[in-house]
Amino acid sequence: NNELLVNSGCLSRLNAQAVLPLIYGPLYKNSSGHWNATVEGLAQNVLKMYMEYDLVLYDKCTASYFREEEEAKRKLEALNDKWASIEQTAMANKAVLAK
């Protein structure tokens, strides 16, 4: 089954340009720290296979993944800052109303 997917199916070299950008993130996450060692090993093997297929595409997907992760982190920090500001304003208003 796996050989069929790799040789002529969705994981084949011919489909790498379309498939790798879609699956890189979940594969990367599962390749380092999945609770199931078999899943972790399989994810590592698939990433290695794609790296051997097309290193340039692999590097583009890696860079894109880390850029997206950084952007998500910045957005979350900005959101947390906004909520902290709202909480401060609410506490200040509560103190003024209590007088």
- Does residue 35 surpass a pLDDT of 60? yes
Select from 15, 12, 28 the least CA-distant residue to 64: 28
When mean pLDDT is compared across 12-16, 39-43, 84-88, the lowest value belongs to 12-16
pTM of the model: 0.76
Kindly state the percentage of the chain with pLDDT values over 70. 99
Select from 22, 20, 65, 66 the least CA-distant residue to 47: 20
